[in-house]
Amino acid sequence: MSGDGCPALPTDHVCWRHDDPAAFEAAARAFLTVGLAASEELWFVTERDPAGAREWLAAVPGLADALRDGSARVVPLDGTYVDGRVADPAAQVRAYAEATEAALAAGHAGLRVVAEATGLVRTPRQRVAFTRYEHLIDGYMRAHPFSAMCVYDPRELGAAAVAELACLHPAGNVDDVLFRLYAAGRGRTGLAGELDRSARDLLATALERAAPRPVDGRVVFEAGRLRFADHRCLQLLGEYARGLGAVAVLRGLPGVGVARLVDLLGLPGIRVEAAR
Helix (H, G, I), strand (E, B) or coil at 252: strand
Cα separation, 41 vs 110, whole angstroms? 6
- 17 near 154, Cβ under 8 Å? yes
- Give pLDDT tens digits along the chain (276 positions): 333 455 677 889 999 999 999 999 999 999 999 999 999 999 999 999 999 999 999 998 899 999 999 999 999 998 777 655 788 999 999 999 999 999 999 999 999 999 999 999 999 999 999 999 999 999 999 999 999 999 999 999 999 999 999 999 999 999 899 999 999 988 899 999 999 999 999 999 999 999 999 999 999 999 999 988 999 999 999 999 999 999 999 998 876 677 788 877 878 889 888 776
Task: Check residue 83 and give its pLDDT.
Answer: 57
Helix residue ranges, H only, 38-88 = 50-58, 63-69
pLDDT of 256 = 65
Residues in the chain: 276
Instruction: Give the pLDDT of residue 4.
Output: 43
pLDDT at 187: 85
- Give CA angle at 139 (205, 93), nearest 5°: 90
Gap between the Cα atoms of 112 and 75, Å rounded: 12
CA distances from 54 to 109, 142, 147 (A): 22, 30, 20
Secondary element (H or E) of residue 201:
helix 200-210
Q: Is 224 within 8 Å of 253 (Cβ atoms)?
A: yes
pTM (2 d.p.): 0.91
Query: What are the structural domains, with CATH classification, of the chain?
Result: 13-175 (3.40.50.300), 181-274 (3.30.750.24)
Long-range contacts of 260-266 (CB under 8 A, 24+ apart): 261/229, 261/231, 261/234, 262/234, 265/231
